[in-house]
Amino acid sequence: MPSKERYSVLLPTYNERDNIAIVVWLLVKTFTSSDVDYEIVIIDDNSQDNTQGVVRQLQQLYGDDRIILKCRPGKLGLGTAYVHGLRHARGEYVIIMDADLSHHPKYIPDFIRLQQQTGCDIVTGTRYKAQGGVCGWNFKRKLVSRGANFLAQTLLNPGVSDLTGSFRLYKKNVLEKVIASVNSKGYAFQMEIIVRARAQGYSVGEVPIVFVDRLYGVSKLGGAEITQYIKGLLWLFFTT
């Protein structure tokens, strides 16, 4: 599945020192074995655990043309991190994913293959279709995720099985256009961007993935993020 286009991976980080080197190694291995041109843009929100120091070592190892570090003064929200990283992405396609090893890069060739075969504007990983699933979550976390997706499917009818997933491939020009209309800054960002994209007539393909709970570090998902998601869901229901 060789490709002449460049793929820019956007990795927002906050205290991911224990994970970032592994996920970068997996990404490099995936792209080089598939003969795909790539760059990895890491957007760090002033991590306190020397994540930035580890990234600078990775730049020495792989080259600063492949590993691009963009630092921000603090935690400013997931959505704004993607906006910031997008400004520095040079690829024709953009891949967004988590830096905590929840999203395995082994699925990226499937994303690229589906996009090449169908010409779709967005490819999203889904935990809720075919061989998709989750690993390492307790019942409460599964219930929250299923409940969030059920509410979104019921109220918004987006035509996508996993609206809260954050492992996606976009045509860069499509992401730039859609993201300009997105208001959410936190975890509701993933939901809103798909809803806006579908409303604007863009096509979405799905690839089943298995989401694995983080091995190192602490999840950023809490009560405030859940409340923010529900507010965003209701706002989209009444405005789209």
Q: How far apart are CA 185 and CA 183, in angstroms?
A: 6
Buried b (16+ CB within 10 A) or exposed e, 10-19: bbbbbbbbbb
- Look at strands 93-96 and 67-71 and give their pairing: unpaired
DSSP state of 105: G
Starting at the earlier edge strand, list the strands of the sheet with 36-44.
Answer: 67-71, 36-44, 3-13, 93-96, 168-171, 122-126, 204-208
Digit-coded pLDDT (tens) for 173-199: 999 999 999 987 766 788 899 999 999
Q: Which of 16, 20, 156, 168 is nearest to 95 (CA)?
A: 168
pLDDT at 218: 56
Q: How far apart are CA 176 and CA 88, in angstroms?
A: 12
Residue type, 22: I
Digit-coded pLDDT (tens) for 96-146: 999 999 999 999 999 999 999 999 999 999 998 888 888 877 777 777 777
Average per-residue pLDDT in the chain?
A: 89
> Using alpha carbons only, what angle is made at residue 185 by residues 100 and 189, rounded to the nearest 5 degrees?
70
* 3-class secondary structure per residue, 185-211: CCCHHHHHHHHHHHHCCCCEEEEECEE
Average pLDDT rounded to a whole number, residues 9-19? 96
pLDDT at 230: 76
pLDDT at 217: 55
Tally of CB atoms within 10 A around 3: 19
Phi first, then psi: give them for residue 222, nearest 5 degrees: -145, -170
Digit-coded pLDDT (tens) for 197-225: 999 999 999 999 999 876 655 555 556 66
